[in-house]
Amino acid sequence: MVVSADAGSRGGKAVPYKALLDEAIAQSTHKPESVLLVDRGLAPLPLVEGRDRLWAPLREQHLHAQVPCVWVDATHPSYTLYTSGTTGKPKGVQRDTGGYAVALAASMEYIYCGKPGETYFSTSDIGWVVGHSYIIYGPLIAGMATIMYEGLPIRPDGGIWWSLVEKYKVTVMFSAPTAIRVLKKQDPALLKKYDLSSLRALFLAGEPLDEPTAQWISEGLGKPIIDNYWQTETGWPILAICKGVDDAPPKFGSPGKPVYGYNVKLLDDQTGAELTGANQKGVVAIEGPLPPGCMQTVWRDDARFVNTYWKSVPGRMVYSTFDWGIRDEDGYYFILGRTDDVINVAGHRLGTREIEESIAGHPNVAEVAVVGVADALKGQVAMAFAVLKDASCLGDTQAELRLEGEIMKLVDRDLGAVARPARVRFVTVLPKTRSGKVLRRAIQAVCESRDTGDLTTMDDPAALQQIRDLVQTKNS
């Protein structure tokens, strides 16, 4: 069964779902027997005879039904959540039931410090891992009320979240740095307009927390701002400040120290050797077994789980987070970005290969490279460079813009607007090594006006120059 609605609402506009859902079902190999639809009165809701049913009349019908619990093994899968990797094929992160519940219950006590009867407010989307763990299961397991907020943080104005904190006496709040950067552009008086005396702390995760953002919100709210680091795969924090476990105070720029249950190591990516000294950069890895709550496997692909996550560091069987990190002399970790081609746009994780696959679906695209480029608001944005099959439109600005628009629409449809590249630029050739590998890191360096490093393996220097010229024209 698929459960859906006629539409969602964003920025005051309805985003109709039904046509998207019907299209997805039409494309799927295993079609659902039934579709349960909530009609919110936001968009037309044509029903498919025999398959689609409306929620409201069924609710009336079953309102007083007593539904017994179904007991399952602790290892019974609770859900799969798809996340990006370095290939175009997202991985289905499979989570168990019992271990996840234990991990969340413990984290509510020792990391977020929420108490039964209080209210938790996570501003995430329930479709992302933070939403699963800390809008739904975590707070409810802890006996807390939870707020599901649909919409933007700046509508009707930048005070909406704080008005909810006042109204529902929120004690614990969880958001992402990117949302705070959005609020920074609003009137700072909105942070002082509401009674926030119930709020104990604001937790932020999902991407690096920069100092100006942390300071702005901490001063504005007069509350502790607490960073924590984790992934879809783990389901709860890997690095955090744990109360009553290790009473270390937070340190600016660091999400904290390894959470109990995680045996975190920094490893040399070339040799697999453990880096034990202070401030040495290595891959953040976790020695097995992973603690409760972490992924069990890749849905229906154990081999991929082992090969992707456990065999990427030479000579060792450890779980790789695919993040670079360092640890200072006091044991605090600092995350320095991904080791792979995953980018982080406004706290959302995207594989550049997925975006490339979508763009390559355009009939006039022969080849494309997508890279993540630093952005002041979103952390990173995707930037695409495409080689066309029929390049006759090159140089005709209107025609190029039209094509760019078509490609962006394609990405919107396949992956959602969050994955839409900030720009799609057209080139006649992509910079590659002599063995044919696209030099994405060099393209990224050029886009960020950084040094490209060693380019001796590059096949055709003119290819990178084309990109440099395009980027410079844009900047000027």
- Contact set with ligand AMP (CB under 6 A): 83, 129, 205-208, 227-232, 255, 321, 323, 335, 338, 344, 349
In the complex, the smallest distance separating the C-beta of residue 321 from ligand AMP, rounded to whole angstroms, is: 5
Cβ-Cβ contacts under 8 Å for 406 (sequence gap 6 or more): 362
Rounded to whole angstroms, the Cα distance separating 397 from 403 reads 10
Q: Which residues pair with 381 in a beta bridge?
A: 373
Residue with tokens 């044919």: 436
Asked if residue 195 lies in contact with residue 170, where contact means CB atoms within 8 angstroms, the answer is: no
In the complex, the smallest distance separating the C-beta of residue 439 from ligand AMP, rounded to whole angstroms, is: 22
Q: Which CB atom, from 39 or from 210, has the smaller least distance to ligand AMP?
A: 210
DSSP E strands: which ranges in 140-187?
Answer: 145-147, 170-175
In the complex, the smallest distance separating the C-beta of residue 461 from ligand AMP, rounded to whole angstroms, is: 32
Asked if residue 446 lies in contact with residue 467, where contact means CB atoms within 8 angstroms, the answer is: yes
Q: Which CB atom, from 78 or from 452, has the smaller least distance to ligand AMP?
A: 78
Cβ-Cβ contacts under 8 Å for 108 (sequence gap 6 or more): 114, 138, 139, 141, 142, 144
Q: Which CB atom, from 205 or from 388, has the smaller least distance to ligand AMP?
A: 205
Determine the distance from the C-alpha atom of residue 449 to the mean position of all C-alpha atoms in its chain, rounded to a whole number.
Answer: 26
In the complex, the smallest distance separating the C-beta of residue 450 from ligand AMP, rounded to whole angstroms, is: 19
In the complex, the smallest distance separating the C-beta of residue 207 from ligand AMP, rounded to whole angstroms, is: 5
In the complex, the smallest distance separating the C-beta of residue 283 from ligand AMP, rounded to whole angstroms, is: 11
Q: Which CB atom, from 380 or from 466, has the smaller least distance to ligand AMP?
A: 380
In the complex, the smallest distance separating the C-beta of residue 245 from ligand AMP, rounded to whole angstroms, is: 18
User: DSSP letter at 256?
Assistant: B
In the complex, the smallest distance separating the C-beta of residue 262 from ligand AMP, rounded to whole angstroms, is: 14
Is the dihedral angle over the CA atoms 279, 284, 288, 290 positive or is it negative? positive
Rounded to whole angstroms, the Cα distance separating 406 from 64 reads 50
Q: Which CB atom, from 200 or from 338, has the smaller least distance to ligand AMP?
A: 338
What 3-state DSSP class applies to 183?
helix
Q: Which CB atom, from 401 or from 417, has the smaller least distance to ligand AMP?
A: 417
What 3-state DSSP class applies to 322?
strand
Q: Which CB atom, from 210 or from 406, has the smaller least distance to ligand AMP?
A: 210
Q: Which CB atom, from 42 or from 248, has the smaller least distance to ligand AMP?
A: 248
Cβ-Cβ contacts under 8 Å for 301 (sequence gap 6 or more): 91, 92
Could you check whether the bond before residue 255 is cis, i.e. omega within 30 degrees of 0?
no
- C-beta atoms surrounding 210 within 10 Å: 15
In the complex, the smallest distance separating the C-beta of residue 421 from ligand AMP, rounded to whole angstroms, is: 19
What 3-state DSSP class applies to 4?
strand
Q: Which CB atom, from 190 or from 415, has the smaller least distance to ligand AMP?
A: 415
